[in-house]
């Protein structure tokens, strides 16, 4: 029998209804022709510094981030803090690399990274590998937003099994699907402003109020040390796993389609550069969010499901009305990235699969219409993913997704600077990276840390995705030398060197 916290649920429902109205109304915001993929899927490439900041923040710092990062601290100790340095590492990388991608995409009308790869290397096949990888890596990520929202609903009292348990989640994502279909990227961009402000308020209150109630940070760290013992601090054996996991995650982050959509939708190169200076504010908040895991230990939260630790902490420490506000922040934090991820996956399908292989003569309107329906199908697929599969399977597939998306780095990132690598060599290298990365993840029970056999890596365990990426690069480089010797064509490059650089028209 359900015992619903009605005060918290009513507050949650009020904010959910507010962002629903905002989602539908956003189609009128900076009105454009939503029958065009450039308008529906990228907001017309007109988002300035502030909107892009909220959009990227809402996209990268998700409901599952709010749940999973402190859950890792709660269950494993300091190793869970890796998410903080990796979000710091990524922004200098973005500052240097992504303005080049924006410029060439603006020049040639590219919507996705796969579009760029096709134009750069003249290869539908290489573009297809990038598109398929992006869709595969994104699907479980959307499903995990459901995990975050489900944890909140369970804490508010929607427990049990069967249809009634799942009904609130189904309603939430059907509403999300409809206003995303209607408004495109404008909907999550508008809602991200509300979501991020709510997250900031929740975190600021939590970092002041919860330590006050628990007697300060001293008792919090003492409780964490008592539970995790040596794991409350990193030991020498964890240096390499921690550092390589942070590095690999940083390299992968802006290869995800939902991250790149914030780049493509920006109004100028300068918007991207300004955001790399502003986005570390989210990293600071993420550090506080991570510490909630230790606060849950000190508060006496005991649960076998680490994902429930933070919702239960909020429910225990705060009055019902503020718990409802915090739960709404997390719930909306699931809707925003899920919408962006589904749009990004739909853009990839429409451009690199539908138009490249199914209907090569597709009009702009047909292309946009297909993307809208695919965005709907992707969300329904994520719901089925959660209902028909074990939650741990979704988590494992998301971990695999990080390894997989990293294998697109040679084509996308190296391709921004050089066309030396052969397109077919990169396809084969990608395949080797995908297979080897998947094998290493499965062999370690999705622990994501792998030690090479036969003593090749000594006593060091390293993030599996980096090992796979190294193999990917080695194969691509060796085969490029071979294919060059055999005079195998590397395709037509439709871009020019000046396409990657600053133009006076981009100075906004």
pLDDT, average across residues 379-408: 81
Angle at 273 (CA atoms; ends 106, 403), nearest 5 degrees = 80
pLDDT at 118 over 90: yes
Count of beta carbons in the 10 Å neighbourhood of residue 109: 11
Q: What CA–CA distance (Å, rounded) separates 140 from 386? A: 9
When pLDDT is cut at 50, 70 and 90, the band that residue 460 belongs to is low
Q: Supply angle C-alpha 16, 20, 25, rounded to 5.
A: 150
The total of other beta-carbon atoms located within 10 Å of residue 389's CB is 14
Q: What is the DSSP string of 374-400?
A: HHHHHHHHHHHHHHHS-HHHHHHHHHH
Does any domain span residue 95? yes
CA-angle at 296, arms to 289 and 4, nearest 5°: 95
Report the largest interatomic distance among the alpha carbons of the chain, rounded to a whole angstrom: 72
Mean pLDDT of the region 172-196: 85
Among 475, 470, 478, 334, residue whose Cα is nearest residue 403? 470
> For residue 344, what pLDDT is reported?
93
Whether residue 406 has pLDDT greater than 50: yes
Fill in the DSSP letter of residue 491: -
For residue 27, tell me if it sits in a domain: yes
Q: How far apart are CA 87 and CA 262, in angstroms?
A: 16
Determine whether 107 is exposed, middle or buried from the number of CB atoms within 10 Å of its CB (0-12, 13-18, 19+): middle
For residue 480, name the pLDDT band (cuts at 50, 70, 90).
Answer: very high
Q: Residues 345, 306, 334, 153: is their CA dihedral positive or negative?
A: positive
Q: Is the pLDDT of residue 181 over 70?
A: yes
Element (H, E) at 97: helix 83-108
Task: Identify the H or E element spanning 463.
Answer: strand 462-463
129 is a domain residue: yes
Helix (H, G, I), strand (E, B) or coil at 266: strand
Tell me which range, 57-71, 93-107, 153-167, is most confidently predicted by mean pLDDT: 93-107
How would residue 121 be classed by pLDDT, with cut points 50, 70 and 90?
A: very high
Please state, for a pLDDT cut of 90, what percent of the chain lies above it: 38
CA distance 378 to 339: 10
* 47 DSSP β-pair partners: 266
Name, in order, each residue with C-beta under 8 angstroms of 211's C-beta and a sequence gap of 6 or more. 217, 220, 295
Asked whether the beta carbons of 405 and 420 are under 8 A apart, the reply is no
Domain extent, residue 91, equals 11-506
Provide mean pLDDT across the span 472-488. 94
pLDDT at 117: 95
Structural domain contains residue 234:
yes
Q: What are phi and psi of 322, to 5 degrees?
A: -75, -30
**pLDDT (average), residues 103-118:** 94
CATH number for the domain harbouring residue 295: 1.20.1730.10
Residue 149, Cβ density class (10 Å: 0-12 exposed, 13-18 middle, ≥19 buried): buried
- Taking the C-alpha atoms of residue 369 and residue 374, their distance in angstroms, rounded to an integer, is 9
Give the bridge partners for 463, in sequence order.
Answer: 449
| pTM of the shown model | 0.90
- Helix H or strand E segment including 450: strand 449-450
Angle between the N-to-C axes of helices 83-108 and 236-253, in degrees from 0 to 180, rounded to the nearest 10: 20
Q: At residue 1, does pLDDT exceed 60? A: no
User: Is the pLDDT reported for residue 496 higher than 80?
Assistant: yes
**Predicted confidence band at 452 (pLDDT cuts at 50, 70, 90)?**
low
Q: Is residue 214 situated within a structural domain?
A: yes
User: Does residue 5 form part of some domain?
Assistant: no
When divided into structural domains, the chain yields a total of 1
Evaluate whether 174 touches 338 at the Cβ level (below 8 Å): no
What confidence category does residue 270 fall into, taking pLDDT thresholds of 50, 70 and 90?
very high
Tens of pLDDT, residues 20-71: 888 888 877 667 778 888 888 888 888 988 888 888 887 777 777 788 888 8
Instruction: Report yes or no on 87 lying in a domain.
Output: yes
* Mean local confidence (pLDDT), 279-283: 85
CA distance 98 to 244: 22
Q: What confidence category does residue 471 fall into, taking pLDDT thresholds of 50, 70 and 90?
A: very high
Mean pLDDT of 399-428: 94
| Rounded-to-integer distance, Cα 273 and Cα 238, Å | 34
Q: Where are the alpha helices (DSSP H) in 216-308?
A: 217-228, 236-253, 257-264, 269-278, 280-298
4 falls within a domain: no
The answer to whether 378 and 353 have CB atoms below 8 angstroms apart is no
Rounded mean pLDDT, 207-224: 92
């Amino acid at each position: 029998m359900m015992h619903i916290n009605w005060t918290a649920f009513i507050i949650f429902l009020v904010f959910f209804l507010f962002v629903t109205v905002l989602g539908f109304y956003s189609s009128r915001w900076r009105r454009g022709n939503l029958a065009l993929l450039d308008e529906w899927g990228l907001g017309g490439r007109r988002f300035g510094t502030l909107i892009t900041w909220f959009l990227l923040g809402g996209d990268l710092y998700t409901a599952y981030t709010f749940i999973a990062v402190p859950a890792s601290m709660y269950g494993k100790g300091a190793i869970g803090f890796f998410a903080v340095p990796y979000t710091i590492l990524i922004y200098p990388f973005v500052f240097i690399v992504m303005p080049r991608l924006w410029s060439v995409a603006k020049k040639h009308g590219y919507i996705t990274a796969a579009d760029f790869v096709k134009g750069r290397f003249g290869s539908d096949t290489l573009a297809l590998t990038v598109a398929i990888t992006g869709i595969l890596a994104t699907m479980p990520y959307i499903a995990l937003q459901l995990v975050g929202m489900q944890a909140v609903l369970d804490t508010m009292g929607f427990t049990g099994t069967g249809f009634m348990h799942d009904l609130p989640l189904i309603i939430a994502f059907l509403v999300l699907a409809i206003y995303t279909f209607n408004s495109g990227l404008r909907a999550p961009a508008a809602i991200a402003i509300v979501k991020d402000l709510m997250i900031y308020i929740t975190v600021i209150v939590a970092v002041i109020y919860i330590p006050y109630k628990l007697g300060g940070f001293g008792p919090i760290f003492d409780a964490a040390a008592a539970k995790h013992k040596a794991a409350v601090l990193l030991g020498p054996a964890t240096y390499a796993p921690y550092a390589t996991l942070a590095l690999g995650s940083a390299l992968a982050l802006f290869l995800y389609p939902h991250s790149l959509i914030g780049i493509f939708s920006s109004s100028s190169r300068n918007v991207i550069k300004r955001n790399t200076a502003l986005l570390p504010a989210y990293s600071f908040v993420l550090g506080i969010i991570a510490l909630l895991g230790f606060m849950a230990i000190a508060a006496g939260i005991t649960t076998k499901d680490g994902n429930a630790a933070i919702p239960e902490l909020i429910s225990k420490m705060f009055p019902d009305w503020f718990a409802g506000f915090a739960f709404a922040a997390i719930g909306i934090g699931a809707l925003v990235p899920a919408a962006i991820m589904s749009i990004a996956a739909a853009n990839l399908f429409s451009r690199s699969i539908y138009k490249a292989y199914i209907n090569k003569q597709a009009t702009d309107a047909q292309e946009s219409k297909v993307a809208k329906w695919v965005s709907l199908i992707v969300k329904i697929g994520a719901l089925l993913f959660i209902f028909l599969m074990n939650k741990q399977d979704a988590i494992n597939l998301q971990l695999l997704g990080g390894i997989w998306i990293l294998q697109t780095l040679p084509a996308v990132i190296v391709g921004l600077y050089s066309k030396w690598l052969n397109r077919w060599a990169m396809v084969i290298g990608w395949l080797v990276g995908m297979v080897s990365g998947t094998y290493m993840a499965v062999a370690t029970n999705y622990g994501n840390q792998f030690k090479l056999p036969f003593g090749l890596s000594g006593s060091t365990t390293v993030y599996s995705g980096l090992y796979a990426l190294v193999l990917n690069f080695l194969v691509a480089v060796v085969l490029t030398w071979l294919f060059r010797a055999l005079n195998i064509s590397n395709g037509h490059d439709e871009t020019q060197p000046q396409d990657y650089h600053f133009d006076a028209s981009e100075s906004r």
